Amino acid sequence: MKIVVIQGPNLNMLGIREQQIYGPMKLEQIHAQMKESAQQSKVEIEFFQSNLEGEIVDRIQECYGDAQGIIINAAAYTHTSIAIRDAIAAVNLPTIEVHISNIHRREEFRKTNVIAPVCSSSIVGFGPFGYHLAMVGMTQILNEISAAQEMQKQASEDKQ
């Protein structure tokens, strides 16, 4: 199983930018913790960060046929990007969105979320720990899909 973690604009500045909102942890530290979790679950994990909407869309599309799940923090694009929303819908993979802060308790414009309707679930407001929760959730989703596929395969073989 392979999970791709996609990070949007300004997340490369974690640990520097607005620590009162996002905390002192750097993106590299978050990824290191996620990598440990993936290794324990025997899941392949890949990381991607871009400040450019089109690059994020391209990476989502590249997941089709290559990955089984996506964890995404679209950051500011959460509130504006129909292109990212459409890319997530197009690849039809389990997708969990993560937001470090609770976007529902912030500025009014952050309360609009155009990608949530095409995601499997959303994790908001848990700080960097939200990424760990996303890993646990994605691993569970993928294990359930795998078990269901195995049951279908077994049922099909039993009919023959």
Question: At 43, which CATH number?
Answer: 3.40.50.9100
Q: What is the pLDDT of residue 106?
A: 78
Q: What is the tens place of the pLDDT at every residue in 70-82?
A: 999 999 999 999 9
> Active site residue: 31, 64, 77, 99, which one?
99
Per-residue pLDDT at 127 exceeds 90 = yes
Rounded mean pLDDT of 105-113?
81
> Active site residue: 22, 79, 104, 132, which one?
22
The whole domain housing 139 covers 2-159
Rounded mean pLDDT of 107-134?
92
Q: Residue 104: what are its φ and ψ, rounded to 5°?
A: -80, -10
64 an active-site residue? no
Q: What is the domain count for the chain?
A: 1
22 an active-site residue? yes
Per-residue pLDDT at 142 exceeds 80 = yes
Proportion of the chain above pLDDT 90, given as a percent: 79
Residue scoring higher pLDDT (112 or 88):
88
Report strand pairing: 121-124 vs 95-99: parallel
